[in-house]
């Protein structure tokens, strides 16, 4: 799968910001007991997985083929609207 520099940058920034926020929250509540630390560790694991999946969705959205497909759909919809309006005027 081809990933442009821009797509990789956007994905990496998303992952870094989200993981940084999670880490900050954990550090702010660090004086809690062992159970809280274990729960927080599990939550970081879960949220990191979800965040990586979201990053992959962003990368798929930024793929050139996805953008070409979206543009083709927009052009097709506009053509349909133009054709239907021309039929209504005749």
pLDDT for the residue numbered 85: 79
**pLDDT tens, position by position, for the chain (90 residues)?**
566 777 777 777 788 788 778 877 877 777 777 777 777 777 877 787 788 778 777 877 777 776 778 788 888 888 888 888 777 766
Whether the full predicted model's pTM is greater than 0.75, yes or no, is no
pLDDT for the residue numbered 86: 78
pLDDT for the residue numbered 74: 87
CA separation for the pair 51, 55 (Å, rounded): 6
pLDDT for the residue numbered 67: 72
> Which secondary structure element, helix H or strand E, spans residue 1, and what is its range?
none
């Amino acid at each position: 799968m081809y990933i442009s520099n821009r797509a990789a940058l956007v994905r990496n920034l998303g992952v870094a910001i989200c993981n940084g926020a999670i880490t900050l929250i954990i550090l702010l509540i660090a004086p809690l007991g062992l159970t809280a630390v274990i729960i927080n560790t599990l939550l970081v694991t879960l949220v990191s997985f979800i965040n990586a999946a979201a990053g992959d969705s962003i990368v798929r959205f930024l793929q050139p083929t996805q953008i070409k497909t979206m543009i083709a759909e927009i052009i097709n919809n506009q053509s349909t609207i133009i054709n239907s309006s021309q039929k209504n005027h005749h």
